[in-house]
Structure 1
Amino acid sequence: MFPAIEPYAHGWVENPEQDRIYWETSGNPDGVPVLWLHGGPGSGLGSGGYRKRYDPGAFRLVGIDQRGCGRSTPSVVDALDRMPANTTDGLIADIELVRAEFGIDRWVVTGGSWGSTLALAYALAHPERVTGIVLGAVTTTGRDEVDWLTETMGRVFPEAWEALERSSHRRPGERVIDAYARVLATGTLEERIAAADAWDDWEATHVSLDPNAVPGPLHTDPAQRLVFATLVTHYWANDGFLPGDRAILRRVEELAHIPAVLIHGRHDVSGPVITPWLLHRQWPASRLIVVESEGHGGPQSSELMAEAISGFAR
């Protein structure tokens, strides 16, 4: 890992839907362009800890707060009527706006958790813009992954899942994820806050198995919690807006020529290692690193990401 650095520039670009997408750039203005895509959906860039993965002398790092969260405006909770336009295709278009704003021709694309799904979707949409890919806590947000996270995982955490299901107030035949997405998009403010709190309790159950883990602002700040829950359930209820023939695992062979490193914790309950393993099997230019001692990210995974990213320096 590298010393903490601050951005040397930041700003916003406006997309056709009139969202103002926040960007920040750090490191070497003449370095190799590299993009970081945060998780969630809805986590935002946060305080900037992600920058420690990048050699500040080698890379021109760009980070984006995806539409509806972080410092991008409007926040999803202030503009629920805009949610139909908040899709993976929309996020990809926003990335292209930022790339054009910087005059970058091609870049290394990196991301973690949901950010790995978005990175893969972006690379499939614009392979000519991608020189390499480095991903951690790898997901593709397919239907089977969403069903695992919101239904089947209840076999591992039955007490917590019972609370999640009970708080969903789902209708007959409705999936838990669909119930939460509906309430968080259309419920009263009181109902939405209660749903966000229940969703966050479930997240806290499975994202880290460390009993001493300290939750960050995303989970302790009520406003951030509501943004996160609203966006993550919106995307998961729609299979990441990558259904059927658009599913990443069905198309990964299109990325065969792009070098990639996939880093994943063996004990990642949130996203079992089967996902990066299946990607790697169909991706000759990829390398899979399984971190035997970690789950959904961790210090060793971050170090390995930093090493892998440095491999793309000139």
Structure 2
Amino acid sequence: MPTQIPLRTGHLRVGGGDELYYEVAGNPEGAAVLWLHGGPGGGAGAGHRRRIDPTRQLSVTFDQRGCGRSRPLVTERLDRLDENTTPAQIDDIEALRRHLGIDRWMVTGASWGTTLALAYAQAHPERVTGLGLFAVTTTSTAEVEWITESIGRVFPEEWEAFAGAVERAPGERVVDAYARALRDADVEVRRRAAAAWGRWEDTHVSLGPGWQPDPRWHTPPTRDVLATLVTHYWSHSGFGGDDILGRMERLDGIPGVLVHGRRDISGPAVTAWELHRAWPGSELTILDEGHGGPGSVAALKRAIAEIAS
């Protein structure tokens, strides 16, 4: 009888020598559903297995390169950080699909995971049966500018502390200064930058109902991995985030569900709205939540039930 206990786990070696940790659960003969975690660097947990019907669907999760149970952690090989890009991760996803013998799958994700899901689907639409996304972002330059600079108008005290916690060259963007500090040769410079970045992350998502501090930003090994990868990707606008909206025609014929919180001030709903308008096959739901929440998870679960049948 299919269950939500992993049927299979392992490490898959991909480009550059990285090894991705993955888990597979559910019905081996069922419709495959891939989960892409947020961050970048957040790692995957057991939550996605609870969103599928294990008698009808197959859940696939993995820790993206450089984080979680994948090897090596980005903080262990800062010399290879420039190899960690969105195109490389798209190649990783394809390598995992082939390794598992899956022809097509539904792709789901949250936050950064939505950026990666959209980029993957646009690169390989023939492999995607549908998309289920919440806390939607494309990691565009405009979105990064908002979340690291302009949103300081809402949190002026916290932003001043955040912007002043790292040394900046004249005219340097805050995100670029943090990305530089988090690959500094001095471990103490990196740790201070990671801690300050974590305080800011907790601040800009704090207006959502029921918000609690994210323990990942208070656990140094995980915090340091997260801060390093987030600033690396944001400093480069997600390695293609500015192109996603203009390529939505590549998703013609692919159904999708976009779910976003009205109170998600760190990622305003306009991104989900613009994607929806450019993607006729999509449904948009805006909830009274922040950056994700129980309503978003429930909506994703319904989308999986409808699309991955």
TM-score by length of 2: 0.96
CA contact (8 A) 1:260 1:287 kept: yes
Match of 1:278 among 274, 277, 281: 274
Match of 2:105 in 1: 107
- Once residues 209 and 196 of structure 2 are traced to their aligned partners in structure 1, the CA distance between those partners, rounded to angstroms, is 19
Contact 2:10 2:23 in 1 (8 A): yes
Q: From 125, 146, 149, give the equivalent of 1:148.
A: 146
Q: Counterpart in 2 of 1:30?
A: 29
- Corresponding residue for 1:249? 245
Cα deviation for residue 204 of structure 1 reads 0.3
Equivalences for 1:132-281 in 2 at 5 Å? Answer: 132-210=130-208, 213-242=211-240, 247-281=243-277
User: What is the one-letter code of the residue matched to 1:264?
Assistant: H
Shift of 1:101: 0.5
- 1:195 aligned partner, one-letter code: A
Instruction: Report how far residue 7 of structure 1 moved.
Output: 1.5
1:299 paired residue number: 294
Cα distance, 1:301 vs structure 2: 1.0
Gaps of 5+ in 1: none
Secondary structure at the aligned position of 1:108 is classed as strand
* Divergent runs of 4+, >3 A: 210-217
Question: For 2:176 and 2:185, how far apart are their aligned partners in 1?
Answer: 13
Are 1:310 and 2:309 an aligned pair? no
Residue 160 of structure 1 contacts residue 202 of structure 1 at CA under 8 Å; is this kept in 2? yes
SS in 2 for 1:92: helix
Instruction: After TM superposition, give the deviation of residue 208 of structure 1 in Å.
Output: 3.1
8 A Cα contact 2:208 2:263, kept in partner: no
Structure 1 residues 106 and 210, CA, compared in 2 at 3 Å: closer, same or farther? Answer: closer
Shift of 1:210: 4.9
Residues in 2 aligned to 1:177 and 1:228: alpha-carbon distance in whole angstroms: 14
Contact 1:27 1:57 in 2 (8 A): yes
Quote how far apart the aligned CAs of 1:223 are: 0.4
Cα shift at 1:41: 0.3
Call closer, same or farther: CA 1:62–1:211 in 2, change over 3 Å.
closer
CA contact (8 A) 2:198 2:217 kept: yes
1:11-90 mapped onto 2 (5 Å cutoff): 11-46=10-45, 48-90=46-88
Decide whether aligned partners of structure 1 residues 57 and 271 sit closer, same or farther in structure 2, where only a CA change above 3 A counts. Answer: same
Of 277-286 and 48-57, deviating more is: 48-57
Deviates more, 1:154-163 or 1:212-221: 212-221
SS of residue matched to 2:203? helix
Q: Amino acid of the residue matched to residue 41 of structure 2?
A: G
Deviation at 1:211, TM superposition (A): 8.0
Q: 2-side partners of 1:273 and 1:284: how far apart?
A: 18
Check 1:229–1:201 CA distance in 2 against 1; reply closer, same or farther (3 A cut).
Answer: same
Once residues 119 and 148 of structure 1 are traced to their aligned partners in structure 2, the CA distance between those partners, rounded to angstroms, is: 22
Cα distance in 1, alignment partners of residues 249 and 209 from structure 2: 39
| Contact 1:217/1:224 (8 A) holds in 2 | no
Contact 1:35–1:109 (8 Å) recurs in 2: yes
In 2, Cα distance between equivalents of 1:310 and 1:267: 26
> Percent identity over the alignment?
55
Residue 313 of structure 1, CA deviation: 3.3
Structure 2: gaps of 5 or more residues: none
Which secondary structure does the structure 1 equivalent of 2:291 belong to? coil
What are the superposed Cα offsets for residues 255-293 of structure 1, whole Å, 9 maximum, x if unpaired?
A: 1221100000111111100001000001110000111x2
- Pick closer, same or farther for the CA change 1:133–1:21 going to 2, 3 Å: same
1:128 Cα deviation from its structure 2 partner? 0.6
CA distance in 2, matches of 1:149, 1:313: 33
Give the letter for the 1:25 counterpart.
V
Give how far 1:243 is off: 5.6
**Shift in Å, 1:50:** 2.8
Aligned to 2:15, the other structure's residue is in SS state: coil
User: TM-score normalised to the size of structure 1?
Assistant: 0.95
Aligned-pair distance for 1:154? 0.2
Using the TM superposition, give the Cα deviation of residue 49 of structure 1 relative to its aligned residue in structure 2, in angstroms.
2.0
The aligned amino acid for 2:219 is D
Matched position secondary structure for 2:39: coil
What is the letter of the counterpart of residue 28 of structure 1?
N
Q: Structure 1 CA distance, aligned partners of 2:220 and 2:74?
A: 14
Answer whether contact 2:32 2:105 (CA < 8 A) is retained: yes
